[in-house]
Structures are given as structure tokens and as C-alpha cells.
Amino acid sequence: MACPARPAAAGEEQQGSLTYYTTTGILLQQIAAPSPQLRPERIRSREIAYVGQYAGQRMQFDARLFHDTIHHYINGSGAPAQFDNRNDFTVRGGDLQLSWQPVPAFRLSAQYARAFVNAAPSVDNDLNESTPRDLFSLLARYDLGRGWTASAGVYRSGRVKWLAEGDVTPAFTRVDARLARRWKWRGTEVEAALVGQNLGRDYSEFRQENIFSRRVYGSLSFGW
């Protein structure tokens, strides 16, 4: 039987070691070795943002542009793996958010984000595609009265090449919906809900075999 041995002191990648021994103390395999010369990563963030409140239209609009530089990026290579500091890379992009409530019973919100990662292959081969180029969501909630509420959301994510042990997962669109009713029972707040998740096509998360399929379920909760 084999068991991993790690150092007692926590030192992140600098002191980290992952070594497998048999129960009799014989070395089987060393997966990771300490990396004592590492410098900590640093992130320099720059952004400009706008927040607009439009009371007459019952609307709020937010916009933001950002540019982040990651210094001394830490990555590992070799066998056993050792970590070292790579060159800097940048992440830039922007996002928009719109919230609209034309009447007290109805709220609509939309978000959109776009990001670009710029890293040389010597830093990490997968970094440039490790974040979705585009992200979008649209959420709506309506108060039907007498404790009833209905809500729905549409989410869109671009293609991702996950880091480490992850796969390339294609872009997907997800639709969720929820119908709920709240009431009081003997002084206790009760909520019953019917929830549908991913009402469209299946999609993968992190690994191709990690399939998120259609799900429909009910819930009953009590609050004291």
C-alpha cells in the first residue's frame, strides 16, 4: 500500500513536496519537489468605470474597462514537477451591466463581459484560452402576487481551455427557470419551489465527461 508524504510546514509551492512511499518506507514516486527560489506572484490592476443612475427610466447602467498585469507567474514543469517564475502576462477587457425595474413587481438585468489573455507560450501554453472570450447573462424576476414569484435566466459562455487537468469545452447556452410560493404556517416562513436547470442542451464543465444535463426538481424550505 502506498501513501503520500507532505512536509508539515505549509509553504505553498516553495516547500511543497508530493512523494509516494510504501507502508514500509520504500520510495515509489516523487510527483512534486520543493522550489525554494520562488518569488510571490503580483497583480497590478488598472480600471476605469462608469455608474449611471437613471431614476426617470428606473434604470441603472454600469460599464468598466480593465487591464491587469500578472508578474512572476508561477508554473510547474518536469518530473518530479518543480515550480518556477515565468514572464509576465496581461488580462484586459470590459463588462457592462444593465438593471431595469419598470414596475415594482418586475426586474430585468443583463450582463456582458469580454476578456483577452495575452501570454507567451513560454509562460503557459493554455493561458490565452483559459477564460471565455465572451460571457452573457439575462435574468428576469416577476412577482405574481399572493406569495408567488417566477424567475428565469439565460447564460452564455464562450469556449474554454481549462488549465491543469481540464479539457477544452465548447461554448454553451444554459436556461434556468424557477416558480416559487411563500407563505406563513404557524408563524414559520415556508417556501415551495419548482426549479428547472439547463433546460436546453447538455454541456461540459472542466472535463468533457463532466456533463451538466437537464435537471428539474422541487424544494420545500422552512425559516425560523
CATH of residue 74:
2.40.170.20
Shared domain for 6 and 115, answered yes or no, is no
Shared domain for 111 and 209, answered yes or no, is yes
Q: Which residues of the chain have pLDDT under 70?
A: 1-20, 27-35, 78-79
Shared domain for 107 and 216, answered yes or no, is yes
CA distance 154 to 132: 16
Distances from the Cα of 186 to the Cαs of 63, 149, 221, in angstroms? 46, 22, 14
DSSP secondary structure letter of residue 55: G
**pTM for this structure?**
0.81
Query: What pLDDT digit, counting tens, does each position of 21-55 carry?
Result: 778 777 666 666 666 788 999 999 999 999 999 99
Shared domain for 26 and 53, answered yes or no, is no
Task: Tell me how far apart the terminal alpha carbons of the chain are, to the nearest angstrom.
Answer: 50
Shared domain for 31 and 46, answered yes or no, is no
Cβ atoms within 10 Å, residue 119: 20
Predicted pLDDT of residue 1: 39
